[in-house]
Amino acid sequence: NLLFIASKEGNQDLSPAKLQELAELADYQKMESVRERVDDVVKDKATAEALKPWYRQFCKRPCFHDQYLDAYNRANVTLVDTDGQGVEAITETGVVANGRTYEVDCLIFATGFEVGTEYTRRSGYDVTGRDGRKLSDHWADGFRSLFGMYVHGFPNMFVMGTTQAGFTANYPHLLEEQANHIGYTISEADKRQAHTVELNEAAEQGWVDEIIEKAMLRENFFEECTPGYYNNEGKLSERAKQNTSYGGGSDAYFAIIKKWREAGTLDGLNLSA
């Protein structure tokens, strides 16, 4: 998208500073179109103003339903702006917000889903590697891996997901790329009559350093976002940078793991019978 904007403007400067400037422009243009759509759809101007997102495009997940805004034109729908403070109380007959009670017949709790917490909490189990070391201990100071798939001290274990890997709009695409990569690794180990595949510590640290370095390119962006799980509720840290996806983008990530496979050396992995 940024390369398209640069070519459209005839700009050959693709330095990090210029790319950041283009990203600001693209973000503003997109969010302006979102705010304009709110004005176009929602008839009540006060409601429309309250619904407009005044933050960057990827600070929050976008609305997924085309009829969401249309719902605010219904006579039985009222938007209550709590100014970020939430509701004050729930009574037998309604909800209290801003000192006023709103009578309701049915209350739906939009609790969302849990994300960003420790994997042991979400999965209900821990993994034990070499010398009895727990994966939760290995990741106590942040996610550690090579390509988001191999972990030092945990032989024959492969991880799939977006952390320290590519972040795609189509999640199954990422899973397919990772499955092919893991399949290649197992196939190569079999050809070499190896029963154990294990990541070495230096390769793991090298990838962690790469993840943190690439995350720093987006640091200013996330610092200026409203608090949310994308920026650790507004509290950015080295651990948060370490627990993110590959900052170079999914295409670059896929190119990296493809080049690694084409080299055929299984760089960073120790194989043993």
The answer to whether 226 touches 59, Cβ cutoff 8 Å, is yes
| Residue 230, pLDDT score | 77
Give residue 49's pLDDT. Answer: 96
Please report, as a single letter, which amino acid is at residue 246. Y
Q: Which residue matches tokens 């693209």?
A: 26
Tokens of residue 5, six digits: 């904007």
Amino acid 148: pLDDT? 98
Question: Quick one: 183 exposed, middle or buried, by C-beta within 10 A (0-12, 13-18, 19+)?
Answer: exposed
Bridge partners of 97, per DSSP, are 100
pLDDT of residue 9: 61
118-140 pLDDT, tens per residue? 888 888 999 999 999 999 999 99
Per-residue pLDDT of 104-117, as tens digits, reads: 999 998 877 777 77
Q: Quick one: which of 244, 202, 200 has its CA closest to 222?
A: 244
State the pLDDT at residue 14.
Answer: 66
pLDDT band at 257 (very low <50, low <70, confident <90, very high): very high
User: What would the pLDDT profile of 13-35 be if each residue is shown by its tens digit?
Assistant: 667 777 778 878 888 999 999 99
Show Cβ contacts of residue 192 under 8 Å, excluding neighbours closer than 6 positions.
Answer: 271
Phi and psi, residue 31, nearest 5°: -70, -30
Q: What is the mean predicted confidence (pLDDT) over 223-234?
A: 80
Number of H helices, E strands in the chain: 10, 5
With a pLDDT cut of 90, the percent of the chain lying above it is 62
Q: Domains, the chain, ranges and CATH?
A: 2-79 (no CATH), 125-272 (3.50.50.60)
Strand ranges (E), the chain? 89-90, 94-97, 100-103, 196-199, 269-272
Residue 221 pLDDT grade (very low, low, confident, very high; cuts 50, 70, 90): confident
Tokens of 188: 């190569």
In sequence order, what are the residues at sequence separation of 6 or more whose Cβ sits closer than 8 angstroms to the Cβ of residue 182? Answer: 149, 158, 160
Local confidence band at 232 (pLDDT 50, 70, 90 cut-offs): confident
**Tokens representing residue 209 in the block:** 């350093």
Mean pLDDT lowest for which of 53-57, 74-78, 183-187, 192-196? 53-57
pLDDT of residue 195: 96
pLDDT tier, 11 (very low <50, low <70, confident <90, very high otherwise): low
Identify the pLDDT of residue 8: 61
Q: What separation in angstroms does the CA of 38 have from each of 35, 53, 196, 219?
A: 5, 9, 56, 29
Read off the tokens for 148. 């988001």
Confidence grade of residue 42 (pLDDT, cut at 50, 70, 90): very high
